[in-house]
Structure 1
Amino acid sequence: MNAENPTTAADTPPDVPVGRRPEDERLPFLTNLSYGVQHILAMFGGVIAVPLIIGGAAGLTPEQKAVLVAGCLFLSGIATMVQTIGFPGVGSQLPLVQGVSFATVATMLAIIGDDGTDGLRSAFGAIMVAGLVGLAAIPLFAKIVQLFPAVVTGSVITVIGLSLMPVAARWITGNEMITVDGEQVHNPEFGDVANIGIAMATLLLILVFSKIAKLTRVAILLGLVGGTIIAAIAGKINTSGLSGADVVGIPEPFAFGMPTFQAAAIISMIIAILVIMVETTADILAVGEVVETKVDTKRVSKGLRADMGASAIAPVFNAFPATAFAQNVGLVALTGIKSRFAVAAGGGVLIVLGLSPAAAAVVGMIPTPVLGGAGIALFGTVAASGIRTLTKVDYSGTTNMLVVAVSIAMGMVPVVSPHFWSGLPSWAGTILESGISSAAITAVLLNLLFNVWRPVEPSGMAMAAARARNVSDVEMRVLAEGGSFEAGQTVKVKSPAVDSSAGH
């Protein structure tokens, strides 16, 4: 990449008509469905975790938590289908799975506080307003795509994968501390050897299936199924969720009452929504790199509209803000299935799960260590995709190495030290506590500082003008050495050669 003329890596492939792009591949129905189920199993733990956390903070009953879970599944399915299929002005038409975002959890917990369902309704009101603000900001926000050359996208994609690794680890070991009777105590099951063994067995199955040519594309699905069977043999399956679950359950709009609107809650949620927009933009660019398709400002805008539109209507279905799931970007990279219609089929599965508590309970039986074993492969693949993008960067004679180093380091700070920014004002902490946002902001600013906002050396300006006049190679050498000449002047060159990197 030429640092003086940065280009978005996703812009490199030729622009081909809709219907002939890699992501437009159409597969047989059952093939689409199997790949779609694989996508949903890979992200299911994440999409149900948020409503369970928020429901617990709001003091909801198990039945009320089930309402939140069903609403989040239903909304995620709708948002996924809109994002993948696309409608006029909405949807990136990329293989992206949409799910409820972890980025807003801390903000929602702060809004809810000790107010129970009243606090939950305040959070819903803040989400609706913030989603609408996000929609209004898209025309300006989407223009940042031109600030994402390979040195930026590679750094951010790498951090996306690395920042997800603690999630996989917690799925395997559980949380070290748990709440019992309102007090934090050590989790006696933390780091259970049996759970670690199940996770490693799942990972091993995925590797074995990936080695078999005919099974590579469904390796994750088969690994999850195999891991679940192993967990069942080990007595690690919890079937309590199946008891009393309805076969069909239509989401009740505003099941917890009409939203309320409080200025402080709205402001804090707007900041969280901006973080989601940064993360979604990064995921759109990341999947564009993986699929090797063109991603421009228009496409980012459409993707963000699907994201923000889903977030704005989420409270109607008792759900929370949506975002693109990075682990599914890793699944696209790992399996090579680039078809957006396969992911759309997964969106249909999510809708069915949202309308059938019994079906959701069956999928929810997959133990978290099994998901963690798969997560190691998926999240590692996202990081590897970022590293692959970074190989396209020109490091010779530039400060790009420093841009990459500092960006990744800043992105990892909140991962290795979650409370690093706790002393900052809450709005700043919300932004910087996301490793993805920290990396993106750092990478964009450093790229602007070192590669865009820099003076052009006189010799470089002269050489550019000389190229336009088609001067001789001898004259170009003089210019490269910082010399000058008049039209028709005879020049003498002392050195027989000039470093080819001069003037670049």
Structure 2
Amino acid sequence: MREKNGDNLIPEVDEKIPFSKLWIFSLQHVMSMCAGAVAVPIMIGGAAGLEHLEIVFLISAGLFMAGIGTLIQGYGMKNIAGAKIPVIEGTSFAAVSGILAIIAGAHGDKHLAMTTVFGSVIISGLFCFIIAPVFGKLIKFFPKIVTGTIVLVIGISIMPVGIKWITGGVAKPASVQEVELSLTVLVITLLLFKYIKGIWNSAAILFSIVIGTVLSMALGMADFSQVKDVGWFSLNVPLKFGMPTFNVSAIISMILIMLVLMTESVGNMIAIHEITDKDITEQNIRRGLAGDGISTFLAGIFNTFPITPFAQNTGLIGLINIKSRFVGIYAGIILLVLSFIPKFAAVMGAIPKPVLGGVGFAMFGMVLVGGIKTLSKVKFDGTKNSVIVAVSIGLSMIPLANLTFYENFPAWVQTIFHSGITTGSISAVLLNIFFNVLGNKNIEEKSSSNEIEEIYISNESLEINN
């Protein structure tokens, strides 16, 4: 909690930071998420057969809706949408495989491919908004043993993304030069965290990316040659590729993907609530998912893909320990402004992935640490909670260890379980119900007793400190 005017205490998540400090924290979040925001439209645009300038437009469109989604979550839309937490939104990696399948069904017609994708995105966003209250009510099945496990699973599941960045974003043998650059950036990051103080310490990730990019240019590992061909201004025209095509098969596929994204979104929002010490309530989860639904609905109109929280930024919040939602709000404004500058999108796309891999260890690792901190508050002795964590993590590792594990299963199984985060989340919820809820008639009584005990211990500690 932070003091305001010497009397009232306000949560750190609602703290208003002076703009002289706020802008650098917000810019750091933008720089940290841009690699992911750029990668998704590049992969999808390339699969659809779009030309270079069309792909740059897709990148700008993604930044535009990332800004809108982030503003909705940070600022809120009264009681309709927005969790009012420092969540940074963007186009989700988890939707890529399903979108590529939809594109393949267009048989080389790139405009049909894109309009079919956007049509399914529009409907899936509407579906997410409508079903958000149902997901919100499920929060009672998310005690700390579940939330801690989910956050831990998210950290484990996204770590391979940072590792693949070292080798250019794909799984292949690393070159000596790539490893040297990534490790150098990691060392720079650690040195900055140790030796620089105050506001600049909290901006260590941003400085590491900038220094790493300059270093990569000196080593001849950065290619900015295509940046000069891109203009300075563009407008995200709605339905640029034509009126949306509403294909039933594509819509069903995207709705299944949206259910997966909603599960991951809940996990990220829970993680941010834990990091910022904000109560996890049904209302906050409902409004957060409704915000994702609105953003995704608009994303289909404004030429981009499903919008959900970015896990790397969740880790960054814990790493720099700046919890104010106004950092997210200003990051949203920056993303909106940058979306009108395609030259920036081209520059972000040209930052060497090994640079981002170097800072990825710290960012993604902090998500994992957040899960460990939450689980440290859980009672393991005399319970089956250790089984819940062990089995959930084990199941979440299946798609990480073997990408083809589910290939012989129906398409809907592949869509849902190809994500380790979804698998681990579902497992944690079901196992908690099995071990801690079913047959336990005194569960509410025990919960109340534990809460009273925690309050008593907190008060006793307070008296001792005073």
Identify the match of residue 386 of structure 1 among 351, 371, 375.
371
Identify the match of residue 406 of structure 1 among 391, 399, 409.
391
Report what 2:86 is aligned to.
95
- Counterpart Cα distance in 2 of 1:240 and 1:223: 23
Alignment partner of 2:240: what SS?
Answer: coil
TM-score by length of 2: 0.90
Identify the match of residue 232 of structure 1 among 217, 222, 237.
217
Identify the match of residue 183 of structure 2 among 194, 197, 200.
200
- Counterpart Cα distance in 1 of 2:315 and 2:201: 14
- Greater mean deviation of Cα atoms: 276-285 or 232-241: 232-241
Alignment partner of 1:364: what SS?
Answer: helix
Runs of at least 5 residues in structure 1 that lack an aligned partner in the other structure = 1-12, 178-186, 468-504
Report what 1:370 is aligned to.
355
State the Cα deviation string for residues 127-180 of structure 1 (Å, max 9, x = none). Answer: 111111111111111111111111111111111111111111111113567xxx
Q: How far is 1:343 from its partner?
A: 1.7
Bigger radius of gyration among the two:
1
Report what 1:158 is aligned to.
152
- Counterpart Cα distance in 1 of 2:146 and 2:435: 12
Identify the match of residue 281 of structure 1 among 266, 272, 296.
266
Identify the match of residue 444 of structure 1 among 416, 429, 435.
429
- Counterpart Cα distance in 1 of 2:350 and 2:343: 11
Query: What is the aligned length?
Result: 436
Identify the match of residue 193 of structure 2 among 203, 206, 210.
210
Q: How far is 1:406 from its partner?
A: 0.4
Identify the match of residue 62 of structure 1 among 35, 44, 52.
52
Structure with a larger share of its residues in helix: 2
Report what 1:327 is aligned to.
312
Alignment partner of 1:323: what SS?
Answer: strand
- Greater mean deviation of Cα atoms: 265-274 or 28-37: 28-37
Checking the alignment, whether the CA contact within 8 Å between 1:227 and 1:370 is kept in structure 2 is yes
Report what 1:312 is aligned to.
297
Which amino acid counterpart does residue 353 of structure 1 have in structure 2?
Answer: L
- Aligned pairs for 1:13-24 within 5 A: 20-24=10-14
Which amino acid counterpart does residue 43 of structure 2 have in structure 1?
Answer: I
Checking the alignment, whether the CA contact within 8 Å between 1:19 and 1:25 is kept in structure 2 is no
- Counterpart Cα distance in 1 of 2:37 and 2:347: 15
Q: How far is 1:456 from its partner?
A: 4.6
State the Cα deviation string for residues 167-206 of structure 1 (Å, max 9, x = none). Answer: 11111113567xxxxxxxxx7xx41211111111111111
Q: How far is 1:307 from its partner?
A: 0.6
Identify the match of residue 149 of structure 1 among 143, 165, 170.
143
Alignment partner of 1:422: what SS?
Answer: coil
- Counterpart Cα distance in 1 of 2:169 and 2:27: 28
Question: RMSD in angstroms over aligned alpha carbons?
Answer: 2.1
- Counterpart Cα distance in 2 of 1:291 and 1:419: 37
Alignment partner of 2:25: what SS?
Answer: helix
Report what 1:396 is aligned to.
381
Checking the alignment, whether the CA contact within 8 Å between 2:38 and 2:345 is kept in structure 1 is no
Identify the match of residue 37 of structure 1 among 17, 27, 34.
27
Report what 1:26 is aligned to.
16
1:176–1:334: structure 2 CA closer, same or farther, 3 Å change rule? closer
Which amino acid counterpart does residue 385 of structure 1 have in structure 2?
Answer: G
Checking the alignment, whether the CA contact within 8 Å between 2:319 and 2:366 is kept in structure 1 is yes
- Counterpart Cα distance in 2 of 1:26 and 1:172: 36
Q: How far is 1:224 from its partner?
A: 1.0
- 4+ aligned runs moved over 6 Å, structure 1: none
Q: How far is 1:223 from its partner?
A: 1.1
Percent identical among aligned pairs is: 38
Alignment partner of 2:90: what SS?
Answer: strand
Runs of at least 5 residues in structure 2 that lack an aligned partner in the other structure = 450-466
- Counterpart Cα distance in 2 of 1:131 and 1:449: 32
